């Protein structure tokens, strides 16, 4: 009998992993575009920033754009190569697109208030920042590994630790200045990345449970080593930034939140000593933490999810009001 090329369509009616369907639905429900957020309305607040505040915020947005670009170009496409289900590819395609939206939204914000030459310099600075590039290089090494666990762990680290600390400036300054639309974008990014972290962490744990004890011990040591490296680089980055340095304890407290969340989502032992844990969390810490999706609630809702209940939605004329 002649052999024919066989390709199987993705059948969303036959789900191997319930988190695939539920995560897809949550990502779609959370869909947004930077062009629909009126960031220009924050012009008065932006122009009221002191020079050092302005410089720190603008650079942090360019730095975040660099991380989100890395996500869309390297991180998420790499994860697709090690999929466990066909639906997983669709979910990661969705996340890849949203990472591109995250990166573009930073350009949208900066170009709303700065001329192109200034924005070009900000992105150049991000590309030449030794601490930021060292963190990216460390994560790139994990993606270049043949170990799927390293790749998945790297993604969770970006969507937790690095996302939180690079949004600190925005959430801190939004308390004193009217930056509500820019902050709203920050909230959307945190939520997107929180969903991505839960999903990737889930896939990590499935693979981890199939690994040998030696492989499990290796990834535990590797993740701890990488988190220690990020702590070192982040501390150096804060020290080099005169405005952020005054908030070093607050930023490191956020990093601790990211470290704890990373290890929890991966199901790994938290062997790292506390970076910094404030007796009373700062307002910025509380605001960012409030946007983080709860893993237990997310997975519980996924287990209760049925397609029939959620696959239709009434149309509205406002859906097409661009």
Q: Considering the domain boundaries, does residue 303 fall inside one?
A: no
Does any domain span residue 10?
no
Q: What is the pLDDT of residues 7-21, one digit of tens each?
A: 888 888 888 888 999
Tens of pLDDT along 77-112?
999 988 999 999 999 999 999 999 999 999 999 999
* Model pTM score: 0.91
Domain containing residue 242: CATH number: 1.10.620.20
The string of DSSP codes covering 17-61 is -HHHHHHHHHHHHT---GGGS-GGGGHHHHHHS-HHHHHHHHHHH
Host domain of residue 242: 18-31+42-298
Token pair of 71 as six digits: 């996500």
What's the pLDDT tens digit per position in 180-211? 999 999 999 999 999 999 999 999 999 999 99
Give 154-221 as a DSSP string.
HHHHIIIIIHHHHTHHHHHHTTTS--HHHHHHHHHHHHHHHHHHHHHHHHHHHHHHHS-HHHHHHHHH
| Position 11 in a domain | no
Please state the domain count of the chain: 1
> Does a structural domain hold residue 8?
no
Residues counted in the chain = 322
């Amino acid at each position: 009998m002649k052999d024919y090329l066989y390709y199987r369509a993705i059948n969303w009616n036959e789900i191997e992993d319930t988190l695939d369907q539920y995560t897809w639905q949550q990502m779609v429900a959370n869909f947004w575009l930077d062009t629909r957020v009126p960031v220009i309305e924050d012009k008065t607040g932006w122009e009221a920033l002191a020079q050092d505040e302005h410089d720190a915020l603008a650079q942090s947005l360019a730095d975040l754009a660099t991380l989100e670009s890395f996500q869309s170009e390297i991180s998420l496409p790499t994860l697709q190569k090690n999929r466990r289900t066909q639906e997983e590819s669709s979910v990661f395609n969705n996340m890849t697109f949203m990472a591109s939206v995250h990166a573009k939204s930073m350009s949208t914000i900066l170009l709303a208030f700065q001329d192109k030459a200034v924005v070009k310099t900000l992105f150049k600075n991000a590309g030449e920042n030794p601490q930021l590039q060292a963190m990216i290089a460390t994560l790139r090494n994990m993606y270049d590994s043949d170990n799927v666990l390293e790749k998945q762990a790297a993604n969770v680290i970006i969507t937790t630790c690095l996302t939180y600390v690079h949004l600190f400036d925005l959430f801190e300054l939004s308390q004193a200045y009217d930056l509500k639309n820019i902050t709203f974008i920050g909230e959307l990014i945190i939520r997107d990345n929180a969903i991505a972290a839960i999903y990737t962490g889930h896939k990590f744990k499935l693979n981890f449970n199939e690994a040998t004890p030696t492989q499990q011990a290796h990834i535990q040591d590797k993740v701890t080593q990488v988190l220690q490296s990020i702590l070192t680089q982040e501390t150096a980055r804060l020290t080099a930034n005169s405005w952020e340095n005054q908030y070093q304890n607050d930023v490191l407290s956020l990093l601790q939140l990211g470290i704890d969340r990373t290890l929890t989502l991966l199901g790994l032992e938290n062997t790292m000593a506390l970076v910094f844990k404030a007796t009373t969390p700062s307002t910025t810490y509380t605001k960012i933490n409030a946007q983080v999706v709860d893993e237990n609630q997310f997975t519980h809702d996924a287990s209760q999810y049925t397609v029939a209940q959620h696959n239709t939605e009434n149309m509205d004329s406002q859906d097409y009001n661009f």
